[in-house]
Chain A
Amino acid sequence: MARTTTTARRTGGFPYLLVLPAVLLFAAFVVAPGGYALLLSFQRRKVNGGLLGGGTHTVFAGLANYRDVLGDADLWSGVLRMLALGAVTVPATVVFALLFAVLLDLERTRLKRITRLTIFLPYAVPGVIASLMWGFLYLPATSPIGGDRVDFFGQVAVYFSVGNVAVWGAVGFNMIVIYTALRALPAELFESARLDGASEWQIIRRIKVPMVLPAVVMCTLFTVLAALQVFNEPNTLKPLSNAVSSTWVPLMKIYDDAFGNSDIYSAAATSVVLTAAALAVSFVTARLIQSRVQQEAA
């Protein structure tokens, strides 16, 4: 893509006018809530003594909230569960998306249109609705897939059950992204390889997959980001099973602190910690992947 430079002649304030809505929205709904959460995380409510409950007032708490949050076993087990879930969802989503994309790209595969569309469809089903559907499939009383014999909410099984809902919703979109990248590859890339007697499998492994690695990378990054913010699936399955507690993953814990215990100060501190951790993880992932891609390309 040719980079074009534009002269700033006679444009005056117009570009500022164009970016103004986005800047305002960013300030109001990203910077301000973030700043406010930061402020709250250093505060605490103090009850004025007296048995008949005097009022309460807010005091500066320093790092006390952070100390409590980071020392909270509940949060750490939530983080572990989130990681366990991510260990299921991220590889499964990316591997199946890549697999289906490669299969769709094969010359002699049939039923491409219908299968492509069907696998893409769950993307338009909200996580909550998907969890409801799968939830009733898991529920012993209504399960058509042997929920009365298999405990889908068992100690280990629950991670696969919750992860399955997330994978079900995410594979299609990622498949389309990778498939589109595959279709954009010039055919002559493979022609010469075929003439040299390369098998279809070798072409996939040596040419196609390396060429679409950037698309696979982007899918991985988005899947990781989604895994860090997991909330909808476990939260929706919670009323159907005792296996999911109200603080099952970090985001559920934040919600529970803020609205269950009315402790917005802890919720704010946890939000700050989770946001920072998620940003760090996604930056590191992006970096790692970037350097890997450059190595592959070299």
Chain B
Amino acid sequence: MTATAGVSAPPRDRTTASPAAYRPRRIAILPTTALVLGALYCVVPTLWILVAATKSRTKLFSTDTYTPSLDLGIVHNIRDLSHYQGGIFWHWMLNSFFYAAVGGLLASLVSAATGYALAKYEFRGRGALFNTILAGVLLPQIVLAVPQYLLLSKVGLTDSLIGVLLPQLFNPYGIYLCKIYAQSAVPDSLLEAGRIDGAGEGRLFVSVGLRLMGPGLVTVFLLQFIAIWNNFLLPYVMLTSDDKFPLTVGLYSLLRHGAAEASLYSLVITGTLLSVLPVIALFLSLQRFWRIDLVTGALK
């Protein structure tokens, strides 16, 4: 805050604001405390899972819940988990990354192509297509999972990677964002200049359109990556063989078995911890690429 010296606010009974003229660098205690409390609330479950994962099977239900176990329980737990059904947990981890990365990439390309076309070309049916996509944003996509399964089982595509990947490639919100972004980031004059130089439309799309839309596309990719990474119902209804499960479905099935034998609980807890860590790492490393202003900029 720039100290607006000389202009004193009328005296008010405020807990946070004091006349800035006195101490311009004063820390706002109350807002900072509120944010720290919010952050604690967000991090506590993860910290607790970290503590719980250090406990061996027997200790999980017996020791005081706050004290981590220091007898290498976590090493045993990770070893048990890696041995569980021949290391299927690591399969799930790879599957999750595969679905999210491949699905996110393809969905972003589909969104980019569609958004670019909507923004940069006049063609018959453009308005209808755009309105359909806008309505698609409001469509409860998760509800479609069961009908999608029923239809795909007709053509024998259930329990396959394709059955999990394909339904998640159409992302109306991503298309909408790409259209907005193409409108602001890809100048017509540049395309016209390219046309005069004799470049084909396809080449213009790849070398001008996609390149200029790059920053926005990263955000669309990340949004879709996380949406697929977090998805549960679609793979849950589509897949029956557990070597194709993503983490969400795998850990859920482990929990369901755990209801019968409590010893699996510590495996579930360890698996939960291991599944949270990589995505947090990924998240922190990709932080710079988030362009959320694209999401809000899409608002009129």
Q: Residues of A with Cβ closer than 8 Å to B? A: 1, 3-12, 14-16, 18-19, 21-23, 25-26, 28-30, 32-34, 36-37, 40, 96, 99-100, 103-104, 106-112, 114-115, 117-119, 121-130, 132-134, 136-137, 141-144, 168, 171-172, 176-178, 180-181, 183-184, 194-195, 197-201, 214-215, 218, 221, 225, 228-229, 231-232, 235-236, 239-240, 251, 254-255, 258-259, 264, 267-268, 271, 274-275, 278-279, 282-283, 286
Bound CA–CA A133/B169 (angstroms): 29
Interchain CB contact under 8 A, A130 and B45: yes
Take A108-B26, A180-B296 as given contacts and tell me if A128 and B139 are in contact as well, using a CB distance cutoff of 8 Å.
Answer: no
Take A5-B122, A14-B201, A136-B52 as given contacts and tell me if A267 and B146 are in contact as well, using a CB distance cutoff of 8 Å.
Answer: yes
Q: Which bucket holds chain B's interface residue count?
A: 35 or more
Take A110-B32, A194-B4 as given contacts and tell me if A229 and B166 are in contact as well, using a CB distance cutoff of 8 Å.
Answer: no
Tell me what chain A mostly uses at the interface: helix, strand, loop, or mixed. helix
Tell me what chain B mostly uses at the interface: helix, strand, loop, or mixed. helix
Q: Is B61 close to A, CB under 8 A?
A: yes
Bound CA–CA A239/B262 (angstroms): 12
Take A19-B117, A110-B32, A133-B49 as given contacts and tell me if A218 and B292 are in contact as well, using a CB distance cutoff of 8 Å.
Answer: no
Q: Is B161 close to A, CB under 8 A?
A: no
Q: Give chain B residues whose Cβ lies under 8 Å from the Cβ of A271.
A: 143-144, 146-147
Q: Is B72 close to A, CB under 8 A?
A: no
Interchain CB contact under 8 A, B251 and A132: yes
Interchain CB contact under 8 A, A199 and B251: no
Interchain CB contact under 8 A, A133 and B183: no
Given A6-B188, A126-B229, A232-B232, output 15 extra A-B contacts at Cβ < 8 Å: A4-B188, A6-B120, A21-B110, A22-B170, A28-B166, A37-B150, A96-B38, A117-B284, A125-B279, A130-B45, A168-B45, A218-B295, A240-B259, A258-B150, A283-B138
* Selected contact of B233 from candidates A4, A23, A109, A232, CB within 8 Å: A232
Take A11-B121, A18-B116, A115-B36 as given contacts and tell me if A172 and B138 are in contact as well, using a CB distance cutoff of 8 Å.
Answer: no
